[in-house]
Structures are given as C-alpha cells and as structure tokens.
Amino acid sequence: MNVSVFRRAHFNAAHRLHVPGWSEEQNRTFFGLCNLPNYHGHNYEVEVMVKGVVDPVSGYVMDMKVLKDLMDEEFIEPWDHRNLNLDTEEFKNLNPTAENIAVVIWNKLRKRIDMRFNLCIRLYETPRNYVEYDGQ
Amino acid sequence: MNVSVFRRAHFNAAHRLHVPGWSEEQNRTFFGLCNLPNYHGHNYEVEVMVKGVVDPVSGYVMDMKVLKDLMDEEFIEPWDHRNLNLDTEEFKNLNPTAENIAVVIWNKLRKRIDMRFNLCIRLYETPRNYVEYDGQ
Amino acid sequence: MNVSVFRRAHFNAAHRLHVPGWSEEQNRTFFGLCNLPNYHGHNYEVEVMVKGVVDPVSGYVMDMKVLKDLMDEEFIEPWDHRNLNLDTEEFKNLNPTAENIAVVIWNKLRKRIDMRFNLCIRLYETPRNYVEYDGQ
Amino acid sequence: MNVSVFRRAHFNAAHRLHVPGWSEEQNRTFFGLCNLPNYHGHNYEVEVMVKGVVDPVSGYVMDMKVLKDLMDEEFIEPWDHRNLNLDTEEFKNLNPTAENIAVVIWNKLRKRIDMRFNLCIRLYETPRNYVEYDGQ
Amino acid sequence: MNVSVFRRAHFNAAHRLHVPGWSEEQNRTFFGLCNLPNYHGHNYEVEVMVKGVVDPVSGYVMDMKVLKDLMDEEFIEPWDHRNLNLDTEEFKNLNPTAENIAVVIWNKLRKRIDMRFNLCIRLYETPRNYVEYDGQ
Amino acid sequence: MNVSVFRRAHFNAAHRLHVPGWSEEQNRTFFGLCNLPNYHGHNYEVEVMVKGVVDPVSGYVMDMKVLKDLMDEEFIEPWDHRNLNLDTEEFKNLNPTAENIAVVIWNKLRKRIDMRFNLCIRLYETPRNYVEYDGQ
C-alpha cells in the first residue's frame, strides 16, 4: 500500500529573472517585466509530496512533523523574506525561475529523505502559475 | 480517449491517533497533539478520481450523479458528524490517520465501481495536509 | 486615518452541541447531527480584525506579530487539537456553537487589546458556515 | 530535468447537455437538470500543463506568456461569454460535457505546442466537478 | 450580544444582460460581451448574512438548517441549471445583473425571515466580481 | 437601493519596511524580517468596493469594466513587477506597509470615482494578513 502524503508551506521572497550572458535588451525582451532591475516578489506556496508504504502499525507514511521541520530548515527559514538573487547561495549563479526553484528544493530534500520514498515538489509562484518536479 | 473525472465532497468528524499496543508515553511522543485523549476534529475534503474511456455517445466517463450517490452512501453519510474511533466499524481497530482513511475509502469504492475504471482518492485533513491513494 | 488590519489563524478541535437542561430528544431534534454523543470536529479558521489609527511614523495600526502572539496564547494553543466540551474551561458550561466561540474569543482579546482599537472576530466552522461578532 | 509548468485561465459560458439521437425523455433522465432546454452556465477554470526539459540557460521549460497567448487565441477568446452549443463550431455536433471540452482543448493546443513537450488539460466545471485529459 | 451568521450556497445559471428599450448597438456597447444574444453563464456563489441576538439557551442566532432550507426553496432550486432571462419570472422584465440578482434574493428572504434580524446578501458572479446588498 | 460592487485584481511587487529616522537596530527590532535590506515580495490581491444606487435602467451601480480600467491605470500597471520602495513615487518617502498601500490606493481612486459613490479598499499582503480602508 503506497500512499502519497503532501505538506504545504509558504515563503515570501523577492526575485528577478536575468541571464548574465545576455544583453540587457535580450533579457528585457525574453523575460519582460520579470527582468526589471529592482526586483519584484511573490508569496510562494510549496507542496511537498512524499510517497511510500504506509507503516502497518502507526498508519503513517512519514511523520508530517518531521517533514515540516525539514522544509523549514532547508528552504522556508533561509529564503523567507529574502531576495533570492542577492541573499541566497543557491541563486547567486542560477536564474530563480519557478522551474529552477522547484528543482533546487527537490535536490535539497532528496538528500534528507530516505530513498525508499518518492519525492515531488509543486511550487506556486502565483495562483495562476505553478510548476512541478519529481526528479525525472 | 481516457479522461479522469473528479468529484469533491466533505464530511466533518472527530478522531484521535492512538496505537493500542504502545505505551501512553510512546503514543504521546509519536503522535503529539493528535494523540490527546478526548479527540479533536477536521473538516475532511475528499476528491474521488475515476479514469476511463469517454463514452462516444453521451460524452461521459461515468455519471457524476451516480458517483456522488456512491460517495454519500459509502462514507459521507456514515461518517459525517461522527467520531471515527468510536462510531465507525472501520476504525475501531485501525488508526484513523489520513493515510488509512484514504485507503479505506478506496477499498469501499473499488467494490462499487467497474474494474474498467481506475480509481484514486485524495483526502485533505486540513488545507495544508493531504494524502492520495490509487490502489498500488 | 482609521485602517482595519486582519490576521487569520486556525485550530482543529472536536465539539458537540448540547443543552443540559433539554431532554435527549429535544437536543437531537434541535441540533440534529451536531448533537451526536461522541463528538465531531472542524478545522476552525479565525480572522481577527483590529481597527484604529495608522501610526504616522511606522505605518502600522498594530504590530501583526503582537496580534498573532496574543491569538496563539489566548485560544490557538489552548484549543488546538482539543475537545471544546471536555478540555476547556470556557465551554464546560457554555454550548460551543460558532456564535458562542466567536463571542468567547472576542471577550478574551478585548481584555488584551487597547480600547482605542475596535475589535471584530470572524469564525469559519466550515467554508460554508461562519459567524462574526464585533462586541455590539 | 523534466519540469511541468502550469498556467491557469478562465472563461464563462452557457451550455446544455443533449444527445440528438435520444428521445427527450431519455435525455432528461440521463442528463437531469443539465439537459434543460434554455441552457445554464459555468465559470470554467482551465489549467494547462506543459512538461519538458528545463532550458539550462533561461531556466524556462516554455515561456508562460507564449502559453497564455495560445490559450487566449485557441479557446478563451472564442468561447468566453458564448453559448458552447450555439456559438461554437466545436460543439455544434459534440455534446459539451466537461470531458469533451477538455479533449477539444487538448487537441487544439497539441497542434500548437512542440511535440517534445507533454501536454495535460484540467478543466473545472465547478469547484466540485472537474476532469483531466493527457492525450492517452 | 448581536452576532452575524453566514451561510454559503451556489447555483449554476445562464444569463444575458440586455435593456429592451435600447438599440442593439447601445446594448452591445454598454454591456460588451455580456450582451451576446445566445447567453453565457456563471457558477454563482451566494452568502446570506442574518444578524441578531444569540439565544442564551441554544447559543444559536438562527438555525442554519432552517436558513439553508429557505435559500434552497426561494432561489437555489428554482434558479439552478436555469436560464435567468428565459426560465424565471423574476428576470423576465428585469435585467439579471449581479446587482439586481442580489436585490431580488434579499427581497425574497426578507419576507421569510423575522424582522428582528438584519439581512445582507453577497453574490459572487465570478471570484473577481461580486456585489452586496443589505436593504438600505 | 444602494448596492456595493467589488472588483478584485492583483500585482506582484517587492518591498521593505524601514523608517529612515530610526536606527538600524530599531528598524530590525520593530519590523523583524520585513526590514531585511535586500527586499522581499508579495502577490498583492486588491478588492475595490464601490457603493451607490443601482441605475434602474441598466441595473448597474458602476460599469465594472470602467472600474477595472481605472485600477489598471492607477496602480496595477505602475506597480506590477516593481519594487515599491525604489520604483514608485508614492513610497519613496512613505513606508510601504499594507496599511499605507491601501490608503494610497484609496486616495488615487477617490479622485477618479464620482463622490456619489462610497469607496473601500481591501488589500491582501498574504492570505493570512490583510487590511481595509474606507476613507474614514
């Protein structure tokens, strides 16, 4: 019996989309308003899925409190109320698109969660734009 | 042409997480506040997915009214405004974690829905914690 | 310049509606499923409104962190994952209807929030049923 | 690194479920209120998923602005504030069930989106009824 | 102690905005897409507020079950899955704008709810457009 | 017959809370993470209420398309994807708290909307924190 369990959290951050190797004009044309120099921001909502066998005694796949603490430690506390481009190591040299943010979160959690579990990240940049990454 | 159709419903219930074979202390440590003796409760939201071929005449996979009635009969009416631990047969000897509730719902509906359809259950315990089970 | 500021929080609790002075039949007829003896429960969502003058220096009406801490102290921590009828002093002799819960929250916060502010409580018992109380 | 990106949009339309080859009674029994002759309507919400490799330079799977424009052109502008049965070519001879609408949207977008991307459509007819189609 | 209690419900209907005394061009210019001749539709969400004294014995302002039944009888059942312009008496000679629909609901409920209660109607035409009427 | 009509819109922006006349330590203590120097951001949701008499011919209080255009012109287009502290005139010398943003929006719209209408602004900084200002 494999069940997926999901935990939702949020962080508020500033970011800007920009490729250093491109000209200003190329950046502005490609990323539009998301490239404006002084940053904008979002209320990011993150849903982490962990899929695995239900423990027959406890009835848990994984303790959601443990998962919540991992999420807080790995990206909620370090990124909340920060500027992703300026204040984080992860996006100093990586464009903080929703796609890249989801992949970075997946990589961080993958190291902390037992390999017998599948892992998938959904990241809402806005209620109308979101992405999903499961490591494949 | 395989299409998934989803129907959402809700029930309000009390429950408590507890493993009879564990000591009080073990239960309290493992389940935290969810183990408190006098029960707490949730507005459970359930989404049932049925996946199958679209009927070329009616344009339906399955009549949602039939699905709604099955859901009402199998778990909404028996569990709504009940205490899952005390008032139901299903959780008298099974810890009513979200995982187990989703599996029980899946097992109930699987018996009532034609095997040519795939079936998946998503259960929201809160807007921040939910689980999904598809029988595999 | 009077601005209203709102803070939202939640707690999960069990309850049962019951008037001790009424017969079992009267209770069952009047409160329906809400009167069932073994309790049911809800994910209660609470919105607290504080209305007052915007401080011209800070631009705040009231520090939302202070309000959040008051809410945690007064009713989130004491009631979360509890049985309102059995585990709280407030509802030992008061029927825990949504109306009464909102009034109790208002009374608790009114003692802690400066009288130069107006105060209003909105309590969602479910997404379809909610109440509001402003002390008048 | 395959990431799914999702874009949400909406349109408001009237429709009626009806199979021309069936008797009035058969239609009324099968489709219930959805068969009433003068149409009813919905705020349809559509989520389009495009899954593919993240471009290592831009950090995008696909420009969401391009996807938004395709959605506007293919079905939002032609269908918004229209009667699906009377005002569209697509549903003149096809029953506008949620299932069929999702399949039609998928077919329209599949022609416009590079085959290296997977495509999936989720269509909410109401917050309680929705369907999903991924072309398989 | 005056508490407001709210009950939410929904109905799905078709409508068209049109003033018979105006020219086709005037209607089309003023109402835009909402004037298109073959109707469009919405998932209308209605919130009814009843404000009054909390009964000191029951802890209720008004039985929400009674309010729900009144709402079902007065406008949910008659309007659900109908065309407001063609299928209802109320909007045969009254333009079914959100404003007018809210006023009509208020008038219907005002006759059925004791005058010791205040009454307010909120009607969502879409999640982005809504109106409110309290009889004043 | 006075009806309130509401229109919802959104913009994504970066900001930082900071009082120039205070020391760094005072700012950090008072505003917490909101004072961090490199900005953070939000998906701001704005609801504008306009209250007035329903026109007996059109059935409108005010054309929502006109209101939408005013909102776009006055604050959605100028602020969307901007840094409120650095990119706007309004918050160069005004701390961009939710309270102040709501007051600024109210002042902007008050000049553009006929005085026979009442005006109220609700601004969501997050789904858990919001403010309301009606000019009084």
C40 catalytic per annotation: no
Please answer yes or no on whether C59 and F127 come within 8 Å at the CB atom. Answer: no
| Residue A103 confidence (pLDDT) | 98
pLDDT, one tens digit per residue, over B40-49 is: 999 999 999 9
At D46, the amino acid letter reads: V
Give the nearest chain D residue to A27 (CA atoms): D58
Of the pLDDT bands very low, low, confident and very high (cuts 50, 70, 90), residue D86 is: very high
Q: What is the pLDDT of residue D132?
A: 98
The segments of chain E whose pLDDT lies below 50 read none
Q: Rounded CA gap, B105 and F59, in Å?
A: 48
The token duo for B69 is: 């009635």
- Dihedral of CA atoms D32, D35, D36, D41 in degrees, nearest 10, equals 110
Residue reference for tokens 């199979």: D19
Rounded mean pLDDT of D101-125?
A: 98
Which residues of C fall within a CB distance of 8 Å from B33? 80-81
Distance CA C99, CA C123 (A): 8
pLDDT for the residue D90 = 97
Q: Check residue E128 and give its pLDDT.
A: 97
CATH value at residue B110? 3.30.479.10
- Is residue C42 within 8 A of residue C81, CB to CB? The reply is no
Which distant-in-sequence residues (6+ apart) come within 8 Å of B102 by Cβ? A3, B121, B122, B123, B131, B132, B133
pLDDT at E35: 98
- Nearest CB among C99, C127, C128 relative to E61 is that of C99
Q: What is the mean pLDDT of chain D?
A: 98
Active-site pick, E15, E18, E34, E120: E34
Candidate from A36, A83, A126 with C-beta closest to F40: A83
Residue by residue, pLDDT tens for chain F (136 residues) are: 999 999 999 999 999 999 999 999 999 999 999 999 999 999 999 999 999 999 999 999 999 999 999 999 999 999 999 999 999 999 999 999 999 999 999 999 999 999 999 999 999 999 999 999 999 9
Numbered residues of chain B with Cβ closer than 8 Å to any chain A Cβ: 17, 19, 21, 30, 32, 94-100, 102-103, 127-133, 136
Residue of C nearest to B31 (CA): C81
- Tens digits of per-residue pLDDT, A57-77? 999 999 999 999 999 999 999
The pLDDT, as a whole number, for residue D113 is 98
Please report the ipTM that was assigned to this predicted complex: 0.96
> Chain C residues with CB-CB distance to B under 8 A?
10, 12-15, 33-34, 36, 38-43, 80-83, 86-87, 126-127
Regions of chain C short of the pLDDT cut 50: none
Mean pLDDT of the A29-55 span = 98
Q: What is the pLDDT of residue C20?
A: 96
State the pLDDT confidence band at A7, using cuts at 50, 70 and 90. Answer: very high
Average pLDDT (D103-110) is 98
Q: Choose the catalytic residue: D15, D34, D42, D74.
A: D34
CB contact under 8 A, E1 and C103: yes
What was the pLDDT predicted at A125?
Answer: 98
First to last CA, chain D: 23
* Known active-site residue C34: yes
- Å between D64 CA and nearest CA of chain B: 25
Residues of chain E positioned with their CB less than 8 A from the CB of F54: 97, 99-100, 103
Catalytic residue among B34, B42, B74, B120: B34
- pLDDT at position E4 is 98
Q: How far is CA E111 from CA D118, E8, E102, E117, in A?
A: 56, 19, 15, 12
- Look at residue B35 in the predicted model and tell me its pLDDT: 98
Question: How far is it, in rounded angstroms, from Cα B105 to Cα B87?
Answer: 16
DSSP codes, chain D: -EEEEEEEEEEEEEE----TTS-HHHHHHHHGGGG-TT-EEEEEEEEEEEEEEPPTTT--SS-HHHHHHHHIIIIIHHHTTSBHHHH-STTTSS---HHHHHHHHHHHHHTTS-TTSEEEEEEEEETTEEEEE---
Cα distances (Å, whole numbers) of residue A115 to A50, A52, B134, D81, E72: 10, 10, 21, 50, 52
CA B19 to chain C, closest CA, distance in angstroms equals: 18
**The pLDDT value given to residue C103:** 98
- Per the structure, how many domains does chain F have? 1
The answer to whether the pTM exceeds 0.95 is yes
Nearest to F19 among C7, C9, C57 (CB): C57
CA angle at residue B62 from B57 to B64, to 5 degrees? 120
Do the Cβ atoms of E40 and D82 come within 8 Å? yes
Report the residue of chain E nearest F9, measured CA to CA.
E128
Q: Quick one: which of E95, E100, E58, E55 has its CA closest to E75?
A: E100
Cβ F33–A127 below 8 Å, yes or no?
no
Domain containing F118: what range?
2-133
